[in-house]
């Protein structure tokens, strides 16, 4: 503990010389190794957002339905009748690349704790996954490990995994992304927060015994990878879903007894972050007696105890008169629960080991006053325009899309997730643009989704981020939901590089603009930076998780069709093909993404939502995004095992690829009852046209091509089955 601090030690803690100088100034002395370690994790990018908080502050975070925005463990929105939804998305990218099973599993466990820490029972999990080129030798094992880790953890705890996305690209060969989202349900009058208060109140540790796993995990998540990063396995936490279940149920039981003043998950930076953050919010001090911390390994040092990221642990501030009850409840569930400290009024974190003071640190500078950087940024060189593809076999192209890794059936993934446990899953995202979960015992449901197109974001991070927000909004609308709010997970490379910082700033600007235009605030989120290996960065990947409310379950819509129903297209088609799947099938990723007209986005969305919720004419709905009309109709045919006959508009007969595969925004496919007169609900501001009928056994584009539905299903099921044999 008395080890002399040198330049090498400072560098190993991912601190700059300037930051070390600031530490000495704050303390008025030299730090010891324990104190340096605490500064390093609290000031890490992962915990402090020092490169992004200047820009994150610009995001819209308030709304009529927002109960709690960013700053707590998760965001909270009001869904009426004293019900509230708690939700958040977080990354576990670096750990999942090093140890895919445990990295992904503990990512799921961590995000669930963020939710139930606030008093909510988790009701659904989603995930957003990015892997490298399937031909890369690492990809197959990473895919298997991550999916199994997610499935095993969620299934064991008994929380349904209901949706998500999985994307492959060579850009993620050495930096996969594992973003986990959790949604929970709580009564508005039963919400718990993490603000510690009350001098003398006991600090209670509960859950797994502390080990040496995960030490410097937060610091690792704030650094680039190298070829040697595989040696960081000890920094990857090990999950225990059965312990998580016990912790979940015991905490929810204790919450019924008015015993908890504050509660915080021990996530990144473990005991350090939880204790400092709670105390900072409450403007108080803390005394911790580290010899009392339950440890599963011998001779653990204060440094190891404070920085360990052992999973399935909570820190609680308890009312003194409820201590006996607290210990009784945790004993009932077979959990270690120990009083390891007390609150003070000093504003200082005092750390004792066997009655000896081993660390003394001011709380505010570490928790709330970390460095804030305005890093320089620079736009990348302008992208070239792709050559227009004139002659093409459109039938072959659609088959290529359906058999590609990114758009083939994800049954192999979904079958490893229990989506029906708890009995409230109406539709998973296999059968709908967004997963739909019943609010237990009511007629209400929520729709949840997560989306991002990194190909768009690479070309133009601002427009790409706008599209990610707009697509999540459309996905919710397509189910009949009213979109309420988002959580985001901003995945980027090294912010110290000007070009990367430009991507970050532009993406946040895009999210801001889209959220403001759609009245769709940001209530929680996470930033994951330094997703680089050997100086090669990932594509900018700002994943957007959206939540909306369906007032009546009977109005919920998915990919349903029925014979002789009419097919309508809402929204104007211009035929934007740059960066489209159509071009990607021809190895072209140049150009610009389609722009979002937010006036049209709002107008078309409100029309679709009104039609779904106020009439009985809508059978099914599908938003249009990647792959345009062609892919969306193919997915509907596959889902229903029914054919469609589609008429291409005259003005596109000479350029059918633009109509079939164009990725113009703000559009929907509606499946309408044969007898329903939709014209009564159309006004001049809405562009809508009938494009076909549900009929036959093929996907047929008149005078262009047709594919039997059986062939669509066969080719769509092929890739994962062959790849993972």
Residues 725 and 720: their CA atoms lie apart, in Å, by 8
- On whether the CB atoms of residues 174 and 95 are closer than 8 A, the answer is no
Q: Count other Cβ atoms within 10 Å, centred on residue 344.
A: 17
92 is catalytic: yes
Catalytic residue among 13, 46, 169, 576: 46
- On whether the CB atoms of residues 509 and 578 are closer than 8 A, the answer is no
**Close Cβ partners of 722 (under 8 Å, ≥ 6 residues apart):** none
For the four alpha carbons of 101, 106, 112 and 116, in that order, the dihedral sign comes to positive
The dihedrals phi and psi of 707, each to the nearest 5 degrees, come to -135, 125
Tokens 């504003």 belong to which residue? 347
- On whether the CB atoms of residues 590 and 578 are closer than 8 A, the answer is yes
* Packed helices 17-27 and 33-42: angle between N→C axes, nearest 10 degrees: 120
Residues 606 and 486: their CA atoms lie apart, in Å, by 18
DSSP string, 239-260: --HHHHHHHHHHHHHHGGGT-E
The DSSP call for residue 594 is: P
407 is catalytic: no
Catalytic residue among 92, 169, 216, 576: 92
Residues 13 and 327: their CA atoms lie apart, in Å, by 37
Tokens 């009024």 belong to which residue? 345
Q: What b/e readout covers 398-417, taking b as 16+ CB neighbours within 10 angstroms?
A: bbbbbbbbbbbbbebbbebb
* Residue 329: both structure tokens together: 């409840």
Residues 603 and 613: their CA atoms lie apart, in Å, by 15
Q: Which of 113, 109, 183 is nearest to 152 (CA)?
A: 109
Residues 386 and 409: their CA atoms lie apart, in Å, by 29
Q: Which of 409, 546, 415, 379 is nearest to 470 (CA)?
A: 546
**One-letter-per-residue 3-state SS of 428-470:** CCCCCCCEEEECCCCCCEEEEEEECCHHHHHHCHHHHHHHHHH
Whole-Å CA distances, 35 to 1, 7, 263: 10, 16, 24
Q: Count other Cβ atoms within 10 Å, centred on residue 31.
A: 19
Starting at the edge strand that comes first in sequence, how are the strands of the sheet with 202-207 ordered? 260-265, 313-318, 202-207, 336-344, 285-289, 348-353, 356-362
CA dihedral 659, 661, 664, 670 (to 10 degrees): 80
- On whether the CB atoms of residues 504 and 52 are closer than 8 A, the answer is yes
For the four alpha carbons of 718, 719, 720 and 721, in that order, the dihedral sign comes to positive
Residues 320 and 343: their CA atoms lie apart, in Å, by 11
Residues 600 and 686: their CA atoms lie apart, in Å, by 8
The DSSP call for residue 4 is: P
Residues 589 and 581: their CA atoms lie apart, in Å, by 9
Q: Count other Cβ atoms within 10 Å, centred on residue 301.
A: 15
Residues 70 and 82: their CA atoms lie apart, in Å, by 21
Tokens 């062609």 belong to which residue? 630
DSSP-H helix ranges across 235-311: 241-254, 270-282, 302-307
- Catalytic residue set: 46, 92
């Amino acid at each position: 503990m008395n080890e002399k601090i040198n330049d090498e030690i400072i560098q190993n803690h991912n601190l700059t010389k300037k930051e070390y100088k600031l530490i000495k100034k704050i303390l008025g002395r030299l730090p010891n190794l324990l104190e340096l370690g605490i500064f390093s994790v609290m000031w890490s990018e992962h915990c402090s957002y020092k490169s992004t908080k200047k820009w994150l502050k610009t995001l819209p975070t308030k709304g009529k339905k927002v109960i709690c925005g960013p700053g707590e463990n998760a965001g909270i929105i009001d869904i009426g009748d004293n019900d509230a939804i708690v939700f958040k998305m977080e990354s576990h990218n670096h750990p999942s690349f090093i140890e895919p099973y445990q990295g992904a599993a503990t990512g799921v466990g961590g995000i669930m704790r963020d939710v139930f820490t606030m008093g909510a029972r988790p009701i659904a999990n989603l995930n957003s996954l990015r892997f490298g080129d399937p031909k890369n030798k690492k990809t197959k094992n990473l895919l298997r490990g991550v999916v199994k880790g997610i499935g095993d953890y969620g299934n064991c705890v008994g929380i349904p995994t209901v949706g998500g996305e999985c994307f492959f690209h060579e850009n993620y060969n050495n930096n996969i992304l594992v973003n986990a989202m959790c949604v929970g349900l709580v009564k508005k009058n039963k919400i718990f927060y993490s603000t510690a208060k009350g001098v003398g109140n006991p600090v209670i540790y509960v859950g797994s015994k502390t080990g040496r796993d995960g030490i410097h995990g937060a610091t690792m998540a704030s650094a680039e990878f190298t070829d040697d990063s595989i040696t960081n396995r000890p920094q990857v936490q090990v999950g225990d879903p059965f312990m998580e279940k016990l912790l979940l149920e015991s905490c929810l039981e204790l919450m019924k007894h008015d015993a908890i003043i504050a509660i915080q998950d021990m996530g990144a930076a473990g005991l350090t972050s939880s204790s400092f953050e709670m105390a900072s919010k409450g403007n108080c001090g803390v005394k911790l007696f580290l010899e009392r911390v339950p440890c599963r390994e011998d001779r653990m040092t204060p440094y190891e105890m404070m920085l360990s990221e052992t999973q399935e642990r909570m820190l609680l501030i308890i009312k003194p008169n409820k201590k006996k009850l607290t210990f009784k409840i945790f004993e009932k569930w077979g959990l270690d629960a120990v009083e390891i400290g007390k609150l003070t009024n000093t504003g200082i974190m005092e750390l004792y080991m066997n009655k000896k003071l081993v660390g003394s640190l001011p709380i505010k500078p570490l928790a709330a006053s970390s460095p804030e950087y305005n890093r320089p940024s620079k736009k990348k060189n302008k992208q070239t325009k792709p050559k227009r593809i004139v002659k093409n076999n459109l039938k072959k192209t659609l088959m290529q899309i359906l058999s590609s890794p990114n758009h083939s059936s994800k049954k192999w993934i979904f079958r490893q997730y229990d989506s029906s446990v708890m009995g409230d899953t109406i539709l998973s995202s296999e059968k709908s643009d967004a997963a739909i979960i019943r609010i237990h015992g009511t007629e209400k449901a929520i729709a949840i989704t997560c989306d991002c197109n990194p190909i768009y974001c690479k070309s133009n991070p601002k427009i790409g981020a706008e599209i990610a927000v707009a697509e999540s909004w459309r996905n919710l609308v397509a189910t009949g939901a009213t979109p309420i709010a988002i959580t985001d997970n901003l995945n980027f490379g090294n912010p110290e590089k000007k070009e990367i910082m430009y991507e970050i700033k532009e993406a946040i600007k895009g999210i801001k603009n889209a959220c403001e235009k759609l009245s769709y605030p940001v209530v929680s989120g996470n930033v994951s930076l330094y997703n680089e290996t050997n100086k090669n960065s990932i594509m900018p990947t700002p994943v957007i998780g959206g939540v909306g409310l369906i007032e009546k379950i009977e109005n919920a819509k998915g990919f349903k069709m029925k014979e002789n129903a009419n097919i309508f297209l809402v929204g104007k088609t211009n035929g934007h093909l740059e960066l489209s799947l159509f071009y990607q099938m021809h190895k072209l990723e140049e150009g610009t993404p389609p722009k979002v007209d937010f006036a049209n986005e709002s107008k078309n969305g409100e029309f679709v939502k009104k039609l779904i919720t106020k009439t009985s004419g809508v059978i099914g709905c599908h938003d249009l995004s990647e792959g345009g009309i062609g892919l969306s109709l193919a997915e509907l045919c596959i889902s229903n095992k029914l054919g469609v006959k589609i008429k291409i508009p005259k003005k596109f007969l000479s350029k059918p690829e633009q109509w079939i595969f164009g990725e113009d925004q703000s559009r929907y496919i509606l499946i309408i009852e044969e007898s329903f007169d939709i014209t009564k609900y159309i006004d001049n501001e809405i562009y809508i046209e009938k494009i076909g009928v549900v009929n036959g056994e093929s996907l047929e584009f008149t005078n262009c091509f047709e594919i039997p539905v059986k062939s669509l299903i066969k080719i769509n099921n092929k890739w994962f089955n062959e790849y993972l044999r």
